[in-house]
Amino acid sequence: MIKESIAKALSEQVNAEYYSAYLYLAMSAHADRAGYKGIANWLFVQAREETAHGTHLYQYILERGASPVFKDIKAPELSFSGVTEIFEKVLAHERYVTGLINKIAGLAQEEQDHAGYNFIMWYVNEQVEEEATADELLTKIRMAENYPGLLFTIDAELGNRTFVDPFGGTAG
Ligand code: FEO
């Protein structure tokens, strides 16, 4: 059985991951409507990954004998000035999520929940990758700001991303 404080924090993280999915879908829609189909694809795949992250947390809460708590998922921002702003916000959001995940890891340590700590460490490591990827894409997009040809190439590259369930299942 998991401690109530940890179950609560994990439920809040389910909500945060689904919010991330919602945010990235809003960004994907914006990119799609602006004609950046590859960037839209990358963000859409990102949204599916976030859903998988949330679903995996949800399954873990149940596995540890607790009841997930469901709250409203807030509406994401809907308007962006362009793809540079989108990736600035992706990076800022991932940094924010890293903070949330680190708090859960800290709580699991405090509560001496070794299994919970081990579980959340997957997310700690994932956040390193999430931030690095967002940072790299933002740098590339900033470089392409004044070179439409370069932006076109980046867009085409991001169009190749496909969804792979990070947990090897069918979630997302
Ligand atoms: Fe669920 Fe973008 O990390």
Would you call 74 exposed, middle or buried from its count of C-beta atoms within 10 A (0-12, 13-18, 19+)?
A: exposed
Q: Hey, what are 41's tokens?
A: 């694809």
C-alpha to C-alpha distance for 120 and 14, rounded to whole angstroms: 12
The whole-angstrom separation of Cα 73 and Cα 67 is: 18
Ligand 1 proximal residues by C-beta, below 6 Å: 17, 20, 50, 53, 94, 97, 130
| Cα(130)–Cα(124) distance, integer angstroms | 10
| CA 67 – ligand 1 centroid, Å | 22
Which pTM was predicted?
0.96
Atom of ligand 1 nearest to the CA of 127: 3
Can you give the pLDDT of all 172 residues of the chain as single tens digits? 899 999 999 999 999 999 999 999 999 999 999 999 999 999 999 999 999 999 999 999 999 999 999 999 999 988 899 999 999 999 999 999 999 999 999 999 999 999 999 999 999 999 999 999 999 999 999 999 889 899 999 999 999 999 999 998 755 5
Residue 41: partners with Cβ closer than 8 Å, 6 or more residues away = 28, 158, 159, 161
d(C-alpha 94, C-alpha 69), whole Å: 23
Give the model's pLDDT for residue 169.
72
Give the CATH superfamily of 4-70+81-158. Answer: Ferritin, core subunit, four-helix bundle (1.20.1260.10)
* pLDDT for position 68: 96
Q: Which atom of ligand 1 is nearest to the CA of 126?
A: 3
Pull the structure tokens for residue 77.
């921002």
Give the residue whose CA is nearest to atom 1 of ligand 1.
50
Separation of CA 130 and ligand 1 centre (Å): 7
Both tokens assigned to 164: 């792979």
Interatomic CA distance for residues 35 and 39, integer angstroms: 9
Q: Whole-angstrom Cα distance, residue 43 to residue 133?
A: 12
- pLDDT of amino acid 104: 98
